[in-house]
Amino acid sequence: MIFPCKKAVLITGLLVLNIGCLWSKPNFVIFLADDLGYGDVGYQGGEVPTPNIDSIASDGVIFTDGYVTCPVCAPSRAGLLTGRYQQSFGFWDNIGPFRLSKEVEPGIPLDIPILSEQLQELGYVCGLFGKTHEGDSEEMMAFNRWNEFFGFNNGASNYLPGMNRDHNPIFHNKKIINRSYEKSGISRDEINQKGVLQIDRQQYLTDLIADYTLSFIEGNRDRPFLCYLPFNAIHGPFQAPKDLYEKYASEKNHQRRLNMAMLDSMDHNIGRVLNKLKKLDLEEDTLVIFLSDNGGHEESPNQPLRGKKATYWEGGIRVPFCLKWPIRLEAGQVYRHPVISLDLLPTLVEAAGGNIDPSWKLDGVDLIPYLLDSSKGIPHENLYWTWGSRKAIRAGKFKALSQDSGKSWQLYDLKKDISEQWDLGTENVSKLDQLVKRFKSWEKELMPQQWGWRSDLGYKDPSFGEPKPYHDPNYFKKSK
C-alpha cells in the first residue's frame, strides 16, 4: 500500500498521519552521468560494482525503456532542463563554430525557463555541480541561472582542474578556482601518465563535485532544494587516480581499465550524497533520479543494445534510468513503458506543488501518476528524435529509424528484438508508413537548426573556442 506520507504522530492516543507533511515540499537530487552505457551499471549486468546507483534502482523504480532526446551531450541536456524537444527552439547540435547568422546566440534562450528557474519560482534553492554545456554567453552561464554553481561549461574537462586551459576554467559561482599546473612550472608528465593521475588525489574532479554538493545540502537542509549533479564521468579524457586504476589491475585493456576506475569513483560519490541525505533525515522525502545523458562510448558496454553514443540505435538513446522517492513510491518497481528525460521537469514541478502552464509548450509529462496508478495508461504515444542525418520515432513496441535523412527507413519490434537485428519494414509496410507520416508531421513544427558543426549554416564565429571575458579571474572584480 502506498501512502502520501509515511511520517506519523501520536495525538490523543491515536496514530495518525502527520498532516503537515501532506503539503511539505520534497527535495530533489538528479545524478546525470556522461556517456554511461545501458549495460554499465550493476543492476543491468555491468562488470563494475555500482552499489550506490543500484540502491536507487532497488529502492525505487527502474525504467527499462528510459530515453534521452539526443545521443550527444548538449542537446540532450537542453531537453532535460527545459522539458521540451530542444529542436523546438533550434538547439539541434552541440555548440560549435557555425551559426545561421552573427546575431544567433547559441544555448537555451533566456525566455525559456529551465528547471532551476521553474523551481526557484516555487521557493527552491537550486545548485548545479558538474558539467554544463547549454550556452556560453555570460547571461546563459550557470552562475546566473542557478543559486549555486560549481563546475565547468564545456563538452569536457580534465579530471584535475589545474590541467585545464584558460578557456575552460572550473568555477565556483563567479570565481575561477583552478590554478594552472603549467603556469606553476609543473609538467604534464609529472601529473598524467597515459591517463593515470599521479598527484593531487584530493583534487579529483568527481570527488570535488560531491564535496560541493554535500556542502550545499548541509547549508540548505532546512529549505527545499534541487541538487543537479551532471558528472563529467565517464566522458573522456579517460583519467583516473592511481589508486583506483590499480584496483582494476585484472583488466588488461588500458582504456577500459581507466574507464572502470572512473565509474567506480562516480558511484562512490553518488553514495556520499545519498549517505548525507540519510544522515540529515532527508532521505524519505527526497526524489532522487539517476540517468545518463546519452549512450556509452567506445569503452562502455551497452549490452544488449545495438550501437553507441552518436547513433540512433537503442545504444545511443536508451540509457540507465531509475528513481526513488521513499515517501511516495514503493521500492522494487519495474516500469516498462517508454519514458524520456523530458519528463523530469514536469515531474519535479508538480511534485513541488506547481502547475504546468500550457504556454510552456512542454513535451514531457509528470511521471508520478503513472507510477502510482497502472490503469492511467502510458505517458507517451510517440517519442521522436532527429539529429544530423538521423531520424527516429518510437510508438509502443515499434521503432522506425532512418540514417540517411529520411531517404530510407527501417522498422524494429523492440519488444521482440531489443538489439535491432531484424528490419520488419518490408513485411509491415503499413506500420512503417504510419510512423514515418507521424514523424514528418512532428518534424514540420520544429525550428530550423540555429548553430552547430555544419559549415553550411552560414556564419562562422571567429572567436569560437577562445576565452570569454568572464574567463579572466579578475573580470567580476572589475565589474563591481
177 in Cβ contact with 161 (< 8 Å): yes
Residue with cell 514515418: 436
Nearest alpha carbon to residue 469 among 262, 212, 225, 166: 166
Q: What is the pLDDT of residue 478?
A: 78
Cα–Cα distance, 393 to 399 (Å, whole number): 6
Q: What is the pLDDT of residue 24?
A: 84
217 with 335, same domain: the answer is yes
Residue 201, in any domain of the structure: yes
The CATH number for 405's domain is: 3.30.1120.10
Residue 467, in any domain of the structure: no
Residue 256, in any domain of the structure: yes
307 with 256, same domain: the answer is yes
310 with 427, same domain: the answer is no
274 with 193, same domain: the answer is yes
DSSP character at residue 286: E
- Backbone CA torsion sign across 447, 451, 457, 461: positive
Residue 179, in any domain of the structure: yes
Residue with cell 540509457: 319
The CATH number for 32's domain is: 3.40.720.10
| Domain end among 346, 380, 414 | 380
| Domain end among 380, 410, 431 | 380
Residue 135, in any domain of the structure: yes
Helix (H, G, I), strand (E, B) or coil at 63: strand
295 with 414, same domain: the answer is no
368 with 388, same domain: the answer is no
Residue 79, in any domain of the structure: yes
| Domain end among 322, 354, 380 | 380
Overall domain count for the chain? 2
**Sequential pLDDT tens for the chain (480 residues):** 233 443 433 333 333 333 334 458 999 999 999 999 999 999 999 999 999 999 999 999 999 999 999 999 999 999 999 999 999 999 999 999 999 999 999 999 999 999 999 999 999 999 999 999 899 999 999 999 999 999 999 999 999 999 999 999 999 999 999 999 999 999 999 999 999 999 999 999 999 999 999 999 999 999 999 999 999 999 999 999 999 999 999 999 999 999 999 999 999 999 999 999 999 999 999 999 999 999 999 999 999 999 999 999 999 999 999 999 999 999 999 999 999 999 999 999 999 999 999 999 999 999 999 999 989 999 999 999 999 999 999 999 999 999 999 999 999 999 999 999 999 999 999 999 999 999 999 999 999 999 999 999 999 999 999 999 999 999 998 776
Residue 230, in any domain of the structure: yes
277 with 398, same domain: the answer is no
182 with 234, same domain: the answer is yes
Residue 153, in any domain of the structure: yes
Q: Give the structural domain span for 422.
A: 384-449
39 with 175, same domain: the answer is yes
Cα–Cα distance, 416 to 273 (Å, whole number): 38
268 with 400, same domain: the answer is no
Helix (H, G, I), strand (E, B) or coil at 175: strand
Cα–Cα distance, 264 to 233 (Å, whole number): 10
Dihedral, CA of residue 84, residue 385, residue 66 and residue 285, to nearest 10: -10
359 with 421, same domain: the answer is no
Q: What is the pLDDT of residue 477?
A: 84
89 with 150, same domain: the answer is yes
**Strand 459-460 versus strand 398-402 pairing type:** unpaired
Long-range contacts of 239-242 (CB under 8 A, 24+ apart): 239/158, 239/159, 239/160, 239/192, 239/195, 239/196, 239/197, 240/159, 240/195, 240/196, 240/197, 240/265, 241/196, 241/197, 241/201, 241/204, 241/265, 242/196, 242/197, 242/198, 242/201
